[in-house]
Amino acid sequence: MDFDYALIEDEPQALTVESTPAQHLSFEKWKRCNRMSLMLMKNSISMPIRGSIPDSKDAKTYLDSVEEQFKGTSKAHASTLILKLVTTKYDGRSGIRGHIMMMNDMAHKLKVLDMEISDGFLVHFIMTSLPATYEAFKINYNTHMEKWTISELIAMCVQEEKCMKIDKLEVAYLATSSKKRKNTHPKKEFAKVQKTNTSASSSSHNSTGKPFCKFCKK
């Protein structure tokens, strides 16, 4: 919508009686875009931060002031991103695709801060963030000579995660089936024991009809 026109083009010269219709149109266009750019920028900034930025009627000057305010925090932001990139571990629940894309996004932000991380280095970072359930997958990657791109890593990890979910379902099904088979016979044995105990308890009486202990005979 040309709202960035005032950031790309310098302010045209003030209009005079000798200005051409084309100059009038250019000036009006820049003036409108400059006003819209300022409005959009100010509405996107929270009030406490907006109050610390020097006001200006020129969108480009105002944006330079915003950059000046946050220039000092770029190093701290880079340190935070690096720490998060190194310490992030996959929890196994959020989805492997989202995990890799999140780490790739952090690497992209570091690139903007002039701290570029190569794809090969990032792949190793992501591999170390995977839990022990991916140990065989990591060994398989390390034994291959070719290197994976981020896109290839996502595809392979998603496939591996699907296979592990299928294996987990099969193991759960086998465990449930085995438990059902084991529970079938004990019920019959319990019924037999209960029947035996009932008959035994009926004969556990002395000549007077009082019950006695089978061990001490009292």
Which residue in this structure is represented by tokens 């209960």?
194
On whether the CB atoms of residues 9 and 30 are closer than 8 A, the answer is yes
pLDDT at 142: 85
Q: pLDDT tier at 38 (50, 70, 90 boundaries)?
A: very high
Q: pLDDT tier at 185 (50, 70, 90 boundaries)?
A: low
**How far is residue 185's CA from residue 173's CA, in Å, rounded to a whole number?**
20
Is residue 109 predicted with pLDDT exceeding 60? yes
Q: What is the pTM assigned to this prediction?
A: 0.52
Angle at 190 between CA 185 and CA 191, to 5 degrees: 100
On whether the CB atoms of residues 84 and 106 are closer than 8 A, the answer is yes
How are the residues of the chain apportioned to helix, strand and coil, as percentages rounded to the nearest 5? 70, 0, 30
Q: What is the mean pLDDT of residues 90-119?
A: 90
Is residue 205 predicted with pLDDT exceeding 70? no
Is residue 199 predicted with pLDDT exceeding 50? no
Q: pLDDT tier at 43 (50, 70, 90 boundaries)?
A: very high
Which residue in this structure is represented by tokens 């302010």?
11
